[in-house]
Amino acid sequence: MQAPLPPGVILQNRYRIVQLLGQGGFGRTYLAEDQGRFKERCALKEFVPQQGEDHFSSKATELFQREAAILYQIQHPQIPQFRAIFEVEQRLFLVQDYVDGVTYRDLLSQRRAQGNPFSESEIRQFLQQILPVLAHIHAKGIIHRDISPDNIMLRNGDRLPVLIDFGVVKEVVTRIQLPETTLPATTVGKIGYAPSEQIQSGRAYPSSDLYALAVTAVVLLTGQEPRALFDDVNLSWHWQQYATVSPALAQVLDKALSYRPGDRFQSVSEMAQALGSSATLGGPTAGIGSPPTLSPTIPQTSASGSPPSQIRTVAVGRAYQPTVGVGPGARVTHAVAPTPAAEEGSVWENPWAVSAMGIGLALVAGIGGWGVVNALNNAGPEPTTTPSPSITINPSPNTTAAPTPTPTTAVEPVAYSQQITVGEGESIELEGSLRSNETVNYQLQGQQGQSLRAQLSGEGVLLTVLSPNGNPANGQASRVLGWTGPLEFTGQYVIQLSPVQGLTDSNYKLTVALEGAAPETPDPEETPDPPTEETPPVQPSISEQRVRIPQGQDSLLVANGVGPGQIQRYVVNLQQGQVLSANVEDASGPVLLAITLPSGETVSGASRVRFWEGQVPLGGDYAIDVISDENAEFTLSIGVRN
């Protein structure tokens, strides 16, 4: 294992190490100064190889670049912004915004020393401020996988919780370090915080994050570690003996802590609704700092000024409508009919109440009798109209029975198939939407030697290209956003679309194109030309990735590997008049570039070069193809400026 970097070291001629902030099982975190952004502070994370390895392989760089594209999608003020990823001297680094604050683990240690654990009002505020952050990432199909007091920070500036250290990157490290084992794909998560399905089978869902968040809440409430609160024999949590909370909050946390994933809240909106509905028993929400809360405005005292009753309240109202685009500053709203709190003592002990009820019953009986007589009179031959007496009854509180919960059944998977026709040199576009349990199979006929291109736009859907034998077309044709490659067989190919796990529904647009038809069979009357000894050229396999320059920067570093018969394609969208630059900064072999216009034509002077810069004449998608006649690793700098 390589030693930590000392202060003063400058990486990429840009990031100056200030100090080592911490070190864990997956790597180290440094405080650094970004000299390209006026020495702005940033967090520089180095991922350290394990198991006696001295450095990461080229596969590591490829996987990190793929996962960096996922992290780049996350743009939320309570999540550190991802900036860049690069490799220096066989060391992998990830750059993110620096958070000036303290982790909830450190806060808990301070509270323990003072004998003052977190209160219910503080935990309510904490949950109301962190749930919109989870809603943001879950909407993009991203599961954090590693929620705990260590990975949530209280930011000093606005006193808001900030979610850090996404397990998606740690998952990549695990896959790199254990490539030959039979361990599940996702083994990330702290023992005690991660649910059983994540630790045992490697599966992670939105409910898995909510489980870990609930564990974090009870640890903060009780000051105890999970091992002291969880009964691993009966698979149940026993935490309420260490904390005093309202029954409503306890019910919310216990549901989120259910052992079976199907028994938990299935989405952030469900948990937010339950948390908001139980706020009548939660007391005021004065929390850790002084930021505005995201809870609904619910009165905490009765009209007489007495404290709220401790009798459980049943919330009755229309179905919950989740807030679209939940984010900071937005309210998690719930349409809940107000339910009056019961006064202390029995109503039968109050003689005035008994008298009022008797008078009310007498009036109701009188009205009923008058109605019967009126009905009989109306049945006679000469109906007479009798004016109705004007009777005013004081309205009493509405009592509505709680709706009987409808048992939920497991949703069966549904697969749709559609035959499509794509002619030689043609391309078609298909649009649609998929639910979480749906798969669509687009079937088309292909001939050996043709080149197929399938490209998705939109978020939340991935594609797999299946050959006539039912297997993926190659190793890069499974659950990707786009694939281009030669067809090795003649027969029916399938482009299979499926949603990203954790999303309820997703829209998509699919572009399909066929090029380079197989050679025609010669006419029987003509004498075919004698076969030549030349072997027809093999269409290269293209791995395509769309890149975006982070806001506030003018360049981005990408690293990967390439070899014969392969093209690593990076697509960047530009506006007319912008300046594009592409530079192979480092390579272990003869790596060259080719840049094409949105029309598909090669940019003048940008074929088989190591560096190109120029003003683009058109707006649209420009492709930067990285090629090599030998297996080689490379680092490419892509720059865009106005």
Instruction: Give the residue numbers annotated as catalytic, written as ranges.
Output: 146
Place of tokens 């000036």: 100
CA dihedral 102, 105, 108, 112 (to 10 degrees): -120
Contact 557, 635 (CB under 8 A): yes
Contact 584, 634 (CB under 8 A): yes
Place of tokens 């490290």: 173
Between strands 451-457 and 505-515, the pairing is antiparallel
Give the C-alpha separation, 367 to 392, whole Å: 11
Contact 558, 65 (CB under 8 A): yes
Task: Give the pair of three-digit tokens for residue 408.
Answer: 């939920």
3-state secondary structure of 164: coil
Give the C-alpha separation, 615 to 594, whole Å: 16
Give the C-alpha separation, 254 to 258, whole Å: 6
Contact 30, 98 (CB under 8 A): no
> Residue 593 is which amino acid?
L
Give the C-alpha separation, 252 to 127, whole Å: 11
Place of tokens 């940033």: 42
Buried b (16+ CB within 10 A) or exposed e, 464-492: bbbbeeeebbeebbbebbbbbbbbeeeee
Contact 160, 76 (CB under 8 A): no
3-state secondary structure of 431: strand
Give the C-alpha separation, 168 to 144, whole Å: 7
Q: Left (φ > 0), alpha (ψ -120 to 50) or beta: where does 552 sit?
A: left
Q: Give the Cα-Cα-Cα angle 311, 297, 158 (nearest 5 degrees).
A: 120
Which secondary structure element, helix H or strand E, spans residue 357, and what is its range?
Answer: helix 351-378
Phi, psi for 291 (deg, rounded to 5): -80, 160
Contact 174, 187 (CB under 8 A): yes
CA dihedral 49, 57, 500, 472 (to 10 degrees): -150
Give the C-alpha separation, 555 to 95, whole Å: 14
Task: Give the pair of three-digit tokens for residue 230.
Answer: 């969880």
Q: What angle in degrees, to the nearest 10, is found between the helix axes of 167-177 and 58-72?
A: 160
Contacts of 139 by beta carbon, 8 Å cutoff, 6+ apart: 503
Task: Give the pair of three-digit tokens for residue 336.
Answer: 């809940």
Give the C-alpha separation, 277 to 334, whole Å: 8
Phi, psi for 15 (deg, rounded to 5): -100, 115
By C-alpha distance, which of 167, 209, 230, 229 is closest to 25?
167
Contacts of 379 by beta carbon, 8 Å cutoff, 6+ apart: none
